[in-house]
Chains A and B, each alone.
Chain A
């Protein structure tokens, strides 16, 4: 029941997060559901997933001080559906050919750039994407994309495991 999912606010207090994920996409638009699907799996694996509900500047506080941020989204570069993309955003801007879809002018890539300009960005940003094919309202996910989800989640967990002080495992 999607309405019950995430029904409780994020816990307050406790140790500061060292790593987190941001997962983008709409569950109603075919392969764009990569983000929401990955969010569910990453949460189940104990990875904190930040939510911004269409407004990525809300993430600026959430990721301030993080060592590692994993950004997950469906991507469209012309590659074969299901292809896993990995981009280490390092300290430079996100590449334009991996243009993350966004609901607003300030997409997550922009919010990251804004965070860097203001000195409020994660130390390390890794973008993991799955090449999608069908993005229409009500489209089912392409089988190859669904199959690639496991690999994406493993890749995300491996990225976080690389981080010596992660609290996500």
Chain B
């Protein structure tokens, strides 16, 4: 019998949070290899940060991603505050949480409705979806705008917010300014419930894995802007202990580093992990919606992450309303942060999962060293393992269909590159 190799390959991508490529090689009807690799522009930022002042980190790191600048601002600011020995007041912390809710809404809705939903409905993309379901696309765009409005009010603008600083904010919005957002956020909460119902009705591939979930956990709250790092395998550590338990290792096929959890291996960060580890802290409305959507307290089918994102969107709108309802304007809007020699660590829940930062400062506050571990790189190994499983289950599919399933599986993680895979030239090779 002639040896047959099917090779499905994606080209490199430009200008994304992670540059990516995918290779699936099938030999004689059996899966031989899956490679998923990402180059990480954030690595360049680590070098760029050296020599800059600690106060500049939020503005510089915000540029790493246009979709989730708050994640980078919040993680870097938290690290600097720790390095300075400063503690946020509760009103400032809540304002951070509030702007983060805006980012979750915007980022999740973009992915759920515009990028991922077309996969499940057989559309090429959002444009085709809009032709048939204009109502849903309009709903998603308005939802995104509600998230934008929060970011603009609290952050000064929605694109790379400028009101964010180490210690808090330059200016805190007034209660009246925030109250003006309430009607739209109430609408957004209802609309997000529609999003849950809609996505819950999709057909999901029958695929589950027993993931090692890793997320932040915070007493009494669905952790977003702070917390301890916990896992479904029993890990419970402070943010500054991360490097003792998580390793980044080089793999031959990728310039990016693979993150692993000591004694466990690949792990998963993001909506499925947060949901599984913090389900009890979701609001009643979010839990109701999840239940209505057929989700239990743990979801192990990565394709259902789209429903969990919709639930988290609902939660973010609900939580924003709760924060605004009891808003106490921080005065002053920032705590004083006096630099000292030493290190600081920060970790927050970006829409795609934990975003971990470490900085070393000199006594003047100049950055000596920086390390940023974005969520997409942490999920890299798990994405590869998912692809192995999905491809093994779908070998009978024709190449085009197999490539589509692979893309869909990658998009489960909402990596910035997942969006761009629509642009990829998928090459199938038979030898």
Chain A residues engaging chain B, CB cutoff 8 angstroms: 3, 7-10, 26, 29, 32, 51-55, 57-58, 60-61, 101-107, 110, 113-114, 117-118, 135, 137
Contact = CB atoms under 8 A, between A and B. Distances in A.
Contacts, number: 92
**Interface class of chain B by DSSP:** helix
Nearest to A117: B130
A106 B134 contact: no
Given A54-B67, A58-B159, A106 B16 contact: no
A55 B66 contact: yes
Chain B, interface size category, equals 35 or more
A118 B128 CA distance: 11
Given A51-B159, A58-B159, A114 B423 contact: no
Given A26-B15, A29-B15, A117-B127, A103 B416 contact: yes
Contacts of B67: 53-55, 104
Interface string B136-173: 01100100110010001000111110100000000000
A52 B159 contact: yes
B141 A57 contact: yes
The listed residue with most B CB atoms (<10 A of its CB), out of A10, A29, A54, is A54
Contacts of B144: 57
A59 B138 CA distance: 14
Given A114-B130, A118-B137, A106 B66 contact: no
A3 B110 CA distance: 27
B386 interface: no
Given A55-B66, A110-B125, A117-B127, A105 B162 contact: no
Given A61-B145, A117-B134, A135 B115 contact: no
Given A3-B59, A101-B15, A54 B137 contact: no
B56 interface: yes
25 contacts: A8-B162, A9-B152, A9-B162, A32-B14, A51-B159, A53-B67, A54-B15, A54-B66, A54-B67, A55-B110, A57-B114, A58-B148, A58-B158, A101-B15, A102-B15, A103-B419, A104-B16, A104-B420, A105-B114, A105-B421, A105-B423, A110-B127, A117-B130, A117-B131, A118-B130
A34 to B, nearest CB: 13
Contacts of A9: 152, 156-157, 162
A106 B159 contact: no
Contact of B416 (A3, A104, A106): A104
Contacts of A8: 162
B179 interface: no
